[in-house]
Structure 1
Amino acid sequence: MNSIFQTNFDHFKEAINTTSSDYFAPALECIEATKQAILSGNKILLCGNGGSASTASHITNDFIGHMTNWHRKGYPAIALTADISVLTALTNDFGYDAVFSRQVETLGVRGDILWGFSTSGNSQNVIRAVESCKEAGIKTAVFTCRSGGKLKDMADIWIPVNTDEPMLAEALHLFYIHSIAESIELDLDPVQ
């Protein structure tokens, strides 16, 4: 096998092979907080950069669409990464660090929840979004690497994965968000 593939697979197996509650308990807390937002008639705001922007957009699709129950109503979710006109205008007018916080200030209300994705935990625009959420009474859940960066101490719920390698963290974030979304759907709208 190609050595890069072998190394990456070995690191991936190490990262996913954990039984530590440090990696499960926060995900369970995120399930409950997100369910509460949905049940209260609130919404999920999602943001991230690069590959993490795609993660935010991807899970928004699953909230609005479905996981396994094709017949349930959609859950209100907005990917703050998806509107190119908004993103480019805010970046031009306010700077890239404000690209998500400005949207939180405009779209977010008390009782919503923000899911922020940053493999390093140090993405300034995600940090600013979390700060805006604090001011607005919006709960925050951040998905990072193992070390967590600045965001681990800022968020209401810090969800680390067991690696500091960005590529593996992004892959594990997809596993986490699908598992969380499927758990939410099973609790709120089980397939009959």
Structure 2
Amino acid sequence: MSDLKANLKQSFLDSLKRHRDAFATVEAYHDEAMQLLEAVQHCLQQGGKVVWMGNGGSAADSQHLAAEFMVRYKAERGPLASIALTTDTSILTAHANDYHFDSVFERQVLGLVRPQDVVIGLTTSGKSPNINLALKAANELGAFTVALTGRDGGLVKDIATLPIIVKNDETARIQEVHMFIGHWLCEALDLAITGNN
């Protein structure tokens, strides 16, 4: 039990350090965060939607953030057009079965995305083929593309219009910062729309 207690404490400390590092380098993230907010605001004002995608835990984070947009974060406001490409099991399994899992998000992007949209891919490594192919397709359609990624940014840093790289090697720590950024975006939109936190 003492080993488990020590492990729990260390996990909390690691997470706290990652957040402290992010806050300590807030100037480095500031420009990207503001670009993200401006792109999403412009998208929604133009009648566009925010499209999310990811694999594994990042798939769950995509669904979580799409729900915050469509339902609410904190403020009482109308729905903000958003969808996660990770939620339709019939599309995911049909495409993976008939074609290939690498193109499962690309296919949805080709069918759903318009130039006024923002497409956000979450990939902790930056090397997920299905995210990278989908962001390339979104670029070709004229959408604004964002990668929430980690480590050294991987291949996706050269694909997305706006790569936001969490420079850490541990998947869990990267995902925690991605969710912090996603929640900050929701809060900033709430404030912009309603003037209330």
TM-score for the superposition, normalised by structure 1 = 0.94
Amino acid of the residue matched to residue 33 of structure 1? Answer: A
After superposition, what is the alpha-carbon deviation per residue over 1:157-183, rounded to whole angstroms, capped at 9, x for unaligned? 111224220011112211110011110
Match of 1:12 in 2: 15
Q: Secondary structure at the match of 1:100?
A: helix
d(CA) in 2 for partners of 1:149 and 1:128?
Answer: 14
- Alignment map for 1:1-192 (pairs within 5 Å): 2-18=5-21, 19-20=24-25, 21-70=27-76, 72-191=77-196
d(CA) in 1 for partners of 2:105 and 2:13?
Answer: 35
Alpha-carbon shift at residue 69 of structure 1 (Å): 1.3
Q: Which runs of 5+ in 1 are unaligned?
A: none
Alpha-carbon shift at residue 5 of structure 1 (Å): 2.0
d(CA) in 2 for partners of 1:168 and 1:101?
Answer: 27
**Runs of 4+ residues over 6 Å off in structure 1:** none
After superposition, what is the alpha-carbon deviation per residue over 1:42-69, rounded to whole angstroms, capped at 9, x for unaligned? 0011100000000000000000011111
Q: Which runs of 5+ in 2 are unaligned?
A: none
Structure possessing the higher relative contact order (Cα contacts under 8 Å, 6 or more residues apart): 1
d(CA) in 2 for partners of 1:86 and 1:189?
Answer: 36
Identity of aligned residues (%): 32
d(CA) in 2 for partners of 1:6 and 1:23?
Answer: 28
